[in-house]
Structure 1
């Protein structure tokens, strides 16, 4: 008796591939992934994820297409015999697998290499809530703390990836010293927007310090006054803006 194919592995995931490809281009457009390095993943089942892979005509994140988004098992093997073809899984796929396996609150992971964020951390400048209404989601993310994984290594195995997850300590974003950052969220859009907020605070912090200023956290009173404008504004409108910046 023949076995019916698993429908999870035969779905095209066309919309999800399109979303991830645009998200990769947003990261590049914002300067968080200038070259060929970086990737975004989305959990689609208990053991399956869509992730940006390196294609046969690799040109970097700014030129990602839906064809570069492939359906893999968490161990890096293809979900179907023809899924990978001439594409190769990211060397740091364990980074994505470790986060998704350990965090039931997370469905998407963005890994980027923002130069200013890396520079700020190496300069000893931490991500602090120095802004308020300028970027409310970013202020609240910074106020709760952005941890640092102190090793500047390629996270190419589960031992190293699990170390990063431990350092992440359940937070949305972790900085990777001398490397970049990892952002985890319930959606691709939120994972990317979090990375943008952290990078913005890092860039402002460097500018302030370079100008001879002193970084000061906003007051608790002001933090308490910042409203939650809701996901319709914080995520949906913000994401439409990011796509508009790309010309989409």
Structure 2
């Protein structure tokens, strides 16, 4: 493609691969959108030879008209937008400051939501961004429906409110960010919270939130550490396991 969006398509494709590599999605489920301008976004779509998010290539990432809900580039071909595209269109419309939306189905998050417990900041320095995310509160959307309509998406947006992450009960997670890395890393933080909660409960203990004094001693280590460096790690892990983009 020669529309000047190759780099952004690559970002979305790598984000999909990282999600699959880290177990946030299984097989062909899950998608990422990245805003281009007021009415368009790059969206991970599904083609005639779909192989799943682990094998996403830039050609799977298409320009989508967010108002029309359809592919808007010259090479639509046999590609189709995700059935839950309203997740992306509704969040991007409601939050002009959001650039990227992630929807994934992390199994531990699904289990935790079905168990009915909140993802509290039960740890501190183990994962500081995750602790702060939990301390701010991660809302839970009570419905497990496939979000295919504007009405269902509107309910989901209402549950999200101003939070950067939302658990969909019995379904998965929606996270937002300033770019692909930001939104995917946030989804990983939610997954970490759910996984540690489940492990503590598996040994017979009920975890509680850490004291406010401890939370206050968890500094923001800055985007260079929490964002750029961590994202390079995940991309390097893809390369090591033969899942990088050539």
What is the Cα-based RMSD across aligned positions, in Å? 1.3
Q: Give CA-to-partner distance per residue, 1:78-123, whole Å, 9 cap, x none.
A: 323x231111000011110000000022100000001111001101
* Separation in 1, partners of 2:168, 2:75: 30
Q: Which runs of 4+ in 1 moved over 2 A?
A: 77-80
Match of 1:88 in 2: 80
Q: How does 1:228-247 map to 2 (within 5 A)?
A: 228-247=220-239
Q: How many residues are treated as equivalent by the alignment? A: 239
Which of residues 57, 63, 69 is equivalent to 1:71? 63
| Uncovered stretches (5+) of structure 2, i.e. residues with no partner | none
* Separation in 2, partners of 1:33, 1:39: 9
Confirm or deny that 1:227 pairs with 2:231: no
Q: Deviation at 1:243? A: 0.6
Match of 1:212 in 2: 204
- Answer whether contact 2:71 2:81 (CA < 8 A) is retained: no
TM-score where L is the length of structure 2: 0.94
Q: Give CA-to-partner distance per residue, 1:196-233, whole Å, 9 cap, x none.
A: 01101101101101100121111111111111111111
The SS at the match of 2:181 is: helix
TM-score where L is the length of structure 1: 0.94
The SS at the match of 2:26 is: coil
* Separation in 2, partners of 1:172, 1:83: 33
The SS at the match of 1:160 is: helix
Match of 1:6 in 2: none
Q: Give CA-to-partner distance per residue, 1:12-46, whole Å, 9 cap, x none.
A: 30000001000000000110101111000000000
| Uncovered stretches (5+) of structure 1, i.e. residues with no partner | 1-9
* Separation in 2, partners of 1:233, 1:11: 32
Confirm or deny that 1:44 pairs with 2:36: yes
Q: Deviation at 1:125? A: 2.2
